[in-house]
Structure 1
């Protein structure tokens, strides 16, 4: 069960140590929109390092030969009331939210409805599931948003095997994260 409680430990995998998350540096068209993404799985954060490094090299932020990344650890300190939306499972609502944030002008009302939240949490649509989501967004499974296409896509994603992700979308949410440590991780 996904939840958000004081004292939770979260991990963020990146090409650099992140002590103070900057929302202006966060990409806009990600699963739950622009925000600082974390997971409760250190393994999941480590698995994201290679992708983060490839993107940073392509953006000219680091040297091409960098073969290490960082897992930054944060503790949640709920010092204020946050508006939180949690997708308990990978279902149609979750799928439409991801589709709305990944592709402009798709499920606009869903994207608009999610703007009121400081934190959105749910299953992660990672690199292993990206091909399935891309095919769904291209209409390969039928009409996007259609009952059959939605059901087929969710089944292909193997939702029971997906890890979690938490998107901290606002300054208020970021201020509830306390940096604990950064760990340098060498890629294999």
Structure 2
């Protein structure tokens, strides 16, 4: 895979990323989340008192188990629902659109039975593009190289 520049929004400098299992489930399960969209990393960082964007280069190695969702599909939705329910997976890397706050509200409504799957898709149109890469294993984290960190 080609060399990419990716960004991680945080409240601190993250030179050595690690996988932390938190109490909240995320779109693609536990992992280190980054994006190719700097603006999105800035939005993530603004949740913190001192917002920072960490920049990395990454070249994903051959042999990694990579699951990529090029589009929001039924499979993407089902995978997010499974991960948000805490179901584990064995992928090293998962790439795809994120269920931002608005979209996640629609996912929750669907999971609760308040809306149908068809209604979810009608509501799930993004106002801006989103993208996330979840590095889910130590093997995947070794592909990241820290470049710098800046306050935004």
Q: TM-score, normalised by structure 1?
A: 0.73
Hey, what does 1:59 align to over in structure 2?
none
Residues 82, 76 of structure 1: alpha-carbon distance in 2 compared, 3 angstrom cutoff: same
Equivalent positions of 1:128-167 (< 5 A) are 128-141=102-115, 149-158=116-125, 161-167=128-134
Partner of 2:68: 86
Shift in Å at residue 161 of structure 1?
4.1
Match of 2:35 in 1: 39
Alignment equivalent of 1:8, drawn from 4, 7, 19: 4
* CA distance 1:28–1:20, change in 2 (3 Å): farther
Q: Distance in 2 between matches of 1:75 and 1:140?
A: 42
Q: 2:108, 2:40 → 1: CA distance?
A: 21
Q: Give, in angstroms, the shift of residue 139 of structure 1.
A: 1.4
Matches within 5 A, 1:12-161: 12-24=8-20, 29-51=25-47, 53=48, 66=49, 68-104=50-86, 111=87, 115-141=89-115, 149-158=116-125, 161=128
CA distance in 1, matches of 2:24, 2:59: 25
Higher-Rg member (1/2):
1
Secondary structure, counterpart of 2:82 in structure 1: helix
Give the helix-richer structure, 1 or 2: 1
Residue range with higher mean Cα deviation, 28-37 or 156-165: 156-165
When residues 26 and 77 of structure 1 are mapped into structure 2, their CA distance, relative to the original with a 3 A threshold, is: farther
> Structure 2 length normalisation: TM-score?
0.89
Contact 2:92 2:136 in 1 (8 A): yes
SS of structure 2 residue aligned to 1:31? coil
Gapped regions of structure 1 (runs ≥ 5): 54-65, 105-110, 142-148
- Asked if 2 retains the 8 angstrom alpha-carbon contact of 1:28 and 1:35, the reply is no
Q: Over aligned residue pairs, what C-alpha RMSD do you find? A: 2.0
How many residues are treated as equivalent by the alignment?
Answer: 152
Instruction: Return the offset for 1:160.
Output: 8.1
